[in-house]
Structure 1
Amino acid sequence: MLVINNFEEYKSYLGKEMGSSNWHKIDQTQIDRFADATLDHQWIHVDKERAEKEGPFKVTIAHGYLTLSLIPYLWKQIADVRNLKMEINYGIENLKFGQPVLVDSEVQLKAKLKSIIDLRGTTKVVIEAILNIKDQAKPAYVGDVVFLYHFQ
């Protein structure tokens, strides 16, 4: 895991791969809990029997937004950004879903620092985020995650 203490240390990773998270298994319990939290109970996510009979993948799939919601958790396995007053998840740009994540698949976040700028004391970074699926050639998604950091 990278340890980043300030703007200059962060900037040293510009254009470089920052690393990958551990593998995280997305099981049906996590999918069901996400469905409950977001009120999105579409059958392709939560109805195992119907997914097996009618679904294109023959199993349930994770919500796309569930896979996105894992970014902060997986990112913290890649980089420990210290000496902060505040950290803000500012946005996601240029996101494309490549393929669905089937239930019981394992996913891993891979990160590269695309840009970093000091906006009068606020550090804005853009991280290229790729969510890989174990044993799959195509990622679940690729997008640019934007964080704002207020270093002490």
Structure 2
Amino acid sequence: MEILLVEDNPGDVRLTREALKEAKIQNQLHVVEDGVAAMEFLYQKGPYVDAPRPHLILLDLNLPKKDGREVLQEIKQNPALKRIPVVVLTTSRDKKDILTSYDLHANCYVTKPVELDQFIQIAKSIDNFWLTTVSLPNE
């Protein structure tokens, strides 16, 4: 399984990698640091011409260049990308962010914990549900 993590905070990238490792998730994690790079990855443009199509996207909302809401909207409006599940994984607990994310067709919204143990539990939950339990579209 190919996972695309769209995250600009190096600490959160490191925490995500560690949590996935601790959860013993054996998937390929690709990381981009901003919304523009995320779309280049998904469209296989520029430095991402050979990028694989992700099976799952973990998307932060607060990104440079193009924020996560714009990325989510573009993904879900594109017939070639809209079936890729997008998990909004962000620090925001703001009700407006939650509602906006679901209005833009996010598949789920998860607030990032600060503790590694809690983050590992979330990584395990993501693995158990999105990568083990559900049937994902294979396009």
Same fold (TM over 0.5): no
In terms of fraction of residues, the more helix-rich structure is 2
TM-score, structure 2 length as denominator?
0.24
Where is the strand percentage greater, Structure 1 or Structure 2?
1
